[in-house]
Amino acid sequence: KNQVEQSPQSLIILEGKNCTLQCNYTVSPFSNLRWYKQDTGRGPVSLTIMTFSENTKSNGRYTATLDADTKQSSLHITASQLSDSASYICVVMGGADGLTFGKGTHLIIQP
């Protein structure tokens, strides 16, 4: 069964600090992996999309990595800001299910 597991489930860090969110998946065959940011009560917004051949991709202070061999991805946030408080969802495209969503990591940035 295709699965996407995210960790940690929730995270609290101080403003200005860095953090890394993890995503492990079992989706096969793999097509691409996306990270979304979802503010409370809003729809998800795409941060990055990576294919099999891409190891790292940045979008401002967000950097995503992908290891297709170990089926792991991470999202690194640098110099966190209060506006980074949100849920971050890892989504993998591939396999019979099409898209498989993780449950998300709830990130809180404290001043």
Partner 1 sequence: SQTIHQWPATLVQPVGSPLSLECTVEGTSNPNLYWYRQAAGRGLQLLFYSVGIGQISSEVPQNLSASRPQDRQFILSSKKLLLSDSGFYLCASSTDSNYNEQFFGPGTRLTVL
Contact between 44 and partner 1 by CB under 8 A: the answer reads yes
Q: 106: exposed, middle or buried (C-beta count within 10 Å: 0-12, 13-18, 19+)?
A: middle
Strands (E), the chain: 4-7, 10-14, 19-25, 30-38, 45-51, 56-59, 62-67, 72-77, 86-94, 99-101, 105-110
Which of 15/101 has CB closer to partner 1?
101
Contact between 104 and partner 1 by CB under 8 A: the answer reads yes
Contact between 32 and partner 1 by CB under 8 A: the answer reads yes
Which of 33/109 has CB closer to partner 1?
33
**In this chain, which of 11, 13, 68, 93 binds partner 1, going by CB under 8 A?**
93
Distance CA 18, CA 107 (A): 12
CB of 43 to partner 1, least distance (A): 4
Question: Phi/psi at 83 (nearest 5 deg)?
Answer: -70, -10
**In this chain, which of 46, 55, 56, 81 binds partner 1, going by CB under 8 A?**
46
Q: Which residues bind partner 1 (CB under 8 A)?
A: 4, 32, 34, 36, 41-46, 49, 51, 89, 93, 98-99, 101-104
